[in-house]
Amino acid sequence: MKLHSEKNTYGVDHTRNSIEELSEFSTLEIDADTVNDVENLAQGVFSPLEGFMCRETLESVLNHMRLPNNVPWTIPILLPVKPGFHAKEGDSIVLTNDSVPTAIMQIEEKYSFPRGEIALKTFGTKEMNHPGVKQVLTGEDTFIGGKITLISQANSEFEKYAFYPRQTREIFKKKGWKNVVGFQTRNVPHLGHEHVQKAALTLVDGIFINPVIGKKKPGDFRDDVILESYEMLLKNYYSDTRATMGILKTRMRYAGPKEAIFHAIIRKNFGCTHFIVGRDHAGVGSYYGPFDAHEIFSEFPDLGITPLFFRSFFHCKKCGGVVNEKICPHDGDNIVNFSGTKLRAALTEGRNPKGMLREEVFKVIQKHKQPFIE
């Protein structure tokens, strides 16, 4: 049976078929993270992908960091299933979340692939302490690939900022921005972040603050704390004619340099012309060098978005502000590094680490008894 559908302005297919007709299809229950993947595939966030990867695409990404047509792509987008999953190639299935139909998927291929190879070639390690590796190695090794058609859009807890590329491009156009820099974040904003953002903003027309909202590792900041903190920062320290915010609904992979390329592609899809790449972008632990995420961009001259590289910034007591090693001659006790570990320790103790957080941001964080993911 073929579904008849018509798309609204945001790309969601509203089926004219009844729930009874949908019930003729086999179903696959998916979790919230996979729902985000489905929506990102359907709404152009993961363009040029239109569905979950088949084997040829996966192998090309793992071995060459490109799709089979040579377009840059670095992160596998996969739909794992249990080995006994009964649907076969050529079948259409309904993807459901909490038994609610989310999308139709046309299965092009069902295949097995070694989880260890996916982990090693994506993250550069097979150590279970790496959160991305752990997710891969504890998952399934059977996958289905194929295009998806979105049936319904899930309600977002943060609907105010839940934009997709058609919307962000229209926002940028209405603001008159021809050159837009994207900023990826999974943290509350400290003064180092603000300095980097404003330095980049001097080169373009506007900045798009784009926090990742989705699964993260324990110890990371909660989504609501991140958004409230940025709301306060933007309200008090940015012009609304030059800055705006929207969320990226996806999970962190912690794939370091490869995820930096992935993040840049996504921001290009949102309509950004430039992308900020900081120190240890999307890194975790000591798995990647502090500037590996800068160096990998030399392999992608055809990426279609301009990276802006920023090295380490710190607060200098003698200079009286945020600086870096190029413009500050001081060292020793004058220097306060923007350490995530120190920041979390101070916040746990109820302190605002001097020179690191705006007071308004600190107050937002402190009103939450537990601002971190447990």
Catalytic sites, residue numbers: 185-187
In angstroms, the Cα distances linking 238 to 129, 163, 233, 244, 245 are 39, 20, 7, 9, 11
Nearest-angstrom CA–CA distance, 52 and 62 = 15
Q: Which parts of the chain are beta strand (E)?
A: 5-7, 13-15, 26-29, 51-52, 80-81, 92-97, 100-106, 109-112, 142-150, 180-185, 206-213, 243-245, 248-249, 274-277, 306-309, 313-316, 321-324, 335-337
Nearest-angstrom CA–CA distance, 142 and 165 = 31
**Can you count the helices (H) and strands (E) in the chain?**
12, 18
DSSP state of 18: -
Nearest-angstrom CA–CA distance, 65 and 214 = 24
Specify the amino acid at residue 84. Answer: G
Size of the chain, expressed as the number of residues it contains:
374
Which tokens go with 80? 């794992």
